[in-house]
Structure 1
């Protein structure tokens, strides 16, 4: 099972991702790329655990502990919410959180919840009484193996992580968003692999044309991730919000183009007869929808401040 594979990766004593902003951010991104190049759903779960470790370190100086398997459940459903209540011994969470990857397999999770002072992040031991998880409602084949579902909380004890707003108001939030783009990029590499294999043994000019286009697109996506890693390490405390929106949009376009090009080049054969490729295409198609598409572009447009990318970031 995918969650078991992901947990085996993070439990391996030799596996430890550098935290973003510490001088080895590119190594972190490269590890996430490799994980999703191997299996997209597994890489997605690994990324969440690594993100939880980075969040705990940034906000409270902590981190994950060997033997734990963490999720980060911060999405807000349209019709559901989790409410945090202050009690004598700390906090309790009640409500339903949707879009929880690792819903039935994580041992711990960072969960955003509403408080009277605003949204706040909480750490939850998922073995506690009052936690119920259900991933049976996921009907799409894409990302089905990521064990994504809804988790209910009924007066579940939780530990506050930082003050209200701390989860969003930190440089690492946007750095983590670029880490997700690294996962999308790894997924695009996995989708592209059959085309590379086919083009290597063919003199068909159209097949080579598609392979060339995909190669250029992947090179551009990787270059953007490399540049982002350098920028983060150069000033880890600076906001990477504009950078994150730009990189995520760029990599989403690469992933979309790769899916289309590979399909045009190879036809329906791999989608119908190669289960690994069919699963990768389905996984990546769903995964990149974590992007908010044109809404994200509108946000990016509002962040430019008239500064044009390039040498000196000239103002128009």
Structure 2
């Protein structure tokens, strides 16, 4: 999978083609979760643009499967309007921002969405999305939307990111766009798999950090390493080992049915914290160990550094650590 990602990256069309091919792997989450996380880690090690395209695609498929199971249906048969075609590609848009609101309304049993939605990655490239919308002032619900509907319009905003430059994230404006509910009101956030999706993202960070560490290891092997080189390797090894152990523990907990409720949130928080720490350490140690040359002369390395710098900001730093502490005390953050 590492080689497949490197071959596809950073071409979004090639990444979407690979996403279609690995769609069956989405069924592994909750059953053979470590295998699922290894796929995502391998994608992250190969190319982060590819991983950033495929991770939400697989996440959407797992959400649809969970919704079908929760409703008592076999996903092989699917729920009306929720069975993805093999040619479809997916995003998951659940972010909310002040001043932007997406409202879901129902008339004669048919739902539609109107309003605006921020942070919709690849909305101009994927065919469908799971989108959360308000059903009243307080409550939200998830819906499937066909992004080719004429009522869907991309916000006219620049995308100037140097990392993940090909994975444009933009706002969406929707007007009377037909939508199919995914689970009942509030289900998207309360379902067991909500926190598991964050673990999948952490696996991608871990994969990219591992690839950076391999560059440091290769550099040390290419010459007689001094004590500083050994220091860089030791720091990287410790951080990556800690992240791997947390990811393995999370996978085991999910498969054992022990990653539910607050326990599942804590399992996810630990995995994300460890993987984010490893990623940020890898960025720092790689820069210090290898200097400016690979950042200025090696396309793949420079792109990986820029991509990971942006991607790992999905971790909220100290705020996520506060959340972990709150969960340890038995509260909800």
Tell me if 1:218 matches 2:226: no
CA deviation string 1:251-303 (max 9, x = no partner): 11111001000001111111111121111111111111111211111111111
Distance 1:128 1:257 in 2: 43
Tell me if 1:247 matches 2:271: yes
Partner of 1:260: 284
Distance 1:162 1:96 in 2: 22
User: Are 2:28 and 2:35, in contact at CA under 8 Å, matched by a contact in 1?
Assistant: no
Partner of 2:18: 9
| Aligned-residue RMSD, C-alpha | 2.0
> Normalising by structure 2, what TM-score?
0.86
Distance 2:269 2:91 in 1: 23
Partner of 2:195: 174
Distance 1:28 1:235 in 2: 16
Distance 1:161 1:304 in 2: 31
Q: 1:298 to 1:89 in 2, by over 3 A?
A: same
Partner of 2:7: none
Distance 1:135 1:9 in 2: 29
Distance 1:14 1:223 in 2: 26
CA deviation string 1:138-174 (max 9, x = no partner): 2121122223222221111111111111000011001
Counterparts of residues 11-26 of structure 1 (less than 5 Å) = 11-12=20-21, 16-22=25-31, 24-26=32-34
Pick which of 73-82 and 32-41 moved more: 73-82
Structure 2 counterpart of 1:233, from 255, 262, 271: 255
Distance 1:81 1:290 in 2: 21
Distance 1:108 1:65 in 2: 10
User: Are 1:2 and 1:146, in contact at CA under 8 Å, matched by a contact in 2?
Assistant: no
Partner of 2:121: 101
Tell me if 1:164 matches 2:173: no
Distance 1:191 1:99 in 2: 27
Distance 2:105 2:260 in 1: 33
Once the two structures are TM-superposed, the CA of residue 81 in structure 1 deviates from its matched residue by 1.8
Aligned length: 306
Distance 1:112 1:69 in 2: 18
Distance 2:321 2:23 in 1: 39
For the residue of structure 2 that corresponds to 1:80, the secondary structure is coil
Distance 2:233 2:174 in 1: 48
Structure 2 counterpart of 1:72, from 89, 92, 95: 92
Structure 2 counterpart of 1:209, from 231, 234, 249: 231
Distance 1:194 1:181 in 2: 20
Pick which of 87-96 and 109-118 moved more: 87-96
Once the two structures are TM-superposed, the CA of residue 196 in structure 1 deviates from its matched residue by 2.1
Distance 1:214 1:114 in 2: 43
Partner of 2:217: 196
Distance 2:16 2:134 in 1: 29
Once the two structures are TM-superposed, the CA of residue 89 in structure 1 deviates from its matched residue by 5.0
Partner of 2:140: 119
Structure 2, gaps ≥5 residues long: 1-9, 70-74, 76-82
User: Are 1:192 and 1:259, in contact at CA under 8 Å, matched by a contact in 2?
Assistant: no
Counterparts of residues 272-287 of structure 1 (less than 5 Å) = 272-287=296-311
